[in-house]
Structure 1
Amino acid sequence: MSRTTRSVVAALVVLILVAALGFIYASPYIALDRVKRAADARDAQTVNQYVDFPALRASLKEQVAALLTRRVDIQKSGNPLAIIGAMIGAALVGPLVDSYATPDGVAAILNGIPPRGDPGERPPQAGDSASASAANAPASGVTTAQQAPKAPPQTTAGYRNLNTFVVTYQHGAGDARYSAIFRRDGLVSWKLVAVDLNG
């Protein structure tokens, strides 16, 4: 093998290695894009490939329960009716979690509409508009997560460590942040496994 041929082969090997490493690095961004598109389209089969629903359900239960506990702690010295409302909300954690551990819920989470822990809360359904949600709430007694934001949230994404990828959402400088957490599931596969409502 001539020196020129060896140089070309070495350059090709380096190029292939760099491309493979680039793909591995970009894999969570690709997974995020795919699961968001699938969730927006309510493509349950594809969403199932990118979401670990048992892990997401456990995370949501823990996060919403903590959110309600903080709300009760803040309101202890305040209005007793507010405390009763928070306690009712705590009793409804299961149905709220079940409604968010769905393609509709995943779409809401990845579009900047996290659960707030309100009694009867559910994520917007496919095709819901903000006005339809607002009109539906008083009549049915069930609230949607929140009206769809007018502008998309500010989003930052990056690796927390080699096997954890975090997407953080915030609508404005003073607004609360929350994060969607993905875990590596193989070399280039990632799954949504948790939500951090504290940012």
Structure 2
Amino acid sequence: MAGLVRMKGRVSRPLLITLIVIVIIAALGFAYASPYIALDRLKRAADARDVETVNEYVDYPALRESLKLQVTGLLTRRLDVRHNGNPLAAIGAMIGVALIGPLVDAYATPDGVAALLNGIPPRGEPGERPPPPPAAPSAAPPGNSAQHPAPNSSSSNSTNNNTANGAPPPQPPETTAGYRGINEFVVTYQHGVGDTRYSAIFRRQGLFNWKLSAVDLNG
């Protein structure tokens, strides 16, 4: 009996060590994948305008501060280019300052988050707002199939006209994502070669949690 107990002890110790190693590897793997998981969940929730889930993955105070700084820099660079040496530059600067608050308010929202994650950053234009959520398809009245829209509806006509005119339909942006330090994860968007890039920045909150906390409109 004593020999059997010793044999079980010898068998269980390597098994315990193996289980510990497996748990550590799994935890490290999940920790590495956690920002990718957060990005995917936030993107899905933002597209669906699931406000509760979006709020879990966005640090709104930090995002607002980042948007304010980035939009201010964007407008400053634009004014420097357009009004260099022009006395009207001061008026333009005042107008630009007036744009910052409403634009930040518009983009620090689920609609704004959805726009940022779909390649539509703020441009600093007057009255700019992120695009609204896509309209849900309306249910057709039962037994009224004769009133269904024809396949060549206005939207399909618009697409066909664009194709006929040689203008390609809008393409999703090229996206790259990766770590920039142990506590920062960056998603970069670019629509084409030579086009302006911008980045959405996630920061670690705890061991496995990440939140969208900043943007970089310079790429």
TM norm structure 2:
0.76
Distance 1:171 1:85 in 2: 29
Residue aligned with 2:203, SS:
strand
Residues 47-196 of structure 1: pairs in structure 2 closer than 5 A: 47-77=54-84, 87-127=94-134, 150-196=170-216
User: How far 1:8 moved relative to its partner?
Assistant: 2.5
Which protein is bigger by CA-based radius of gyration?
Answer: 2
The change in CA–CA distance for 1:166 and 1:175 in structure 2 (over 3 A counts) is same
Cα distance in structure 2, aligned partners of 1:150 and 1:12: 50
The residue type equivalent to 2:100 in the other structure is V
Provide the secondary structure at the position in 2 that maps to 1:161: coil
Moved segments of 4+, more than 6 Å = 78-83
Q: What is the root-mean-square deviation of aligned Cα atoms in Å?
A: 2.3
Deviations 1:102-152, CA, capped at 9 Å, x for gaps? 000000000110000001000000017xx99xxxxxxxxxxxxxxxx8211
For residue 82 of structure 2, what is the amino acid of its counterpart?
A: Q
- Which residue does 1:14 correspond to in 2? 21
Asked if 1 retains the 8 angstrom alpha-carbon contact of 2:79 and 2:92, the reply is no
Q: Which residue of 1 aligns with 2:34?
A: 27
Aligned counterpart, 1:141: none
In 2 relative to 1, CA 82–173 (structure 1 residues): closer, same or farther, beyond 3 Å?
Answer: farther
Gaps of 5+ in 2: 1-7, 136-153, 156-168
Distance in 2 (CA, whole Å) between partners of 1:171 and 1:107 is 16
The amino acid that maps onto 1:19 is: A
- Seq. identity, %: 71
What secondary structure, in the 3-state scheme, does the structure 1 residue paired with 2:180 have? strand
Unaligned runs of 5+ in 1: 133-148
Instruction: Give the number of equivalent residue pairs.
Output: 181
**Counterpart residue identity of residue 162, structure 1:** I
Distance 1:157 1:119, change over 3 A: same
Alpha-carbon distance in 1 for matches of 2:85, 2:119: 30
Alignment-mate amino acid for residue 195 of structure 2: D
What is the SS of the residue equivalent to 1:54? helix
- Residue 90 of structure 1: how far off its partner (Å): 3.0
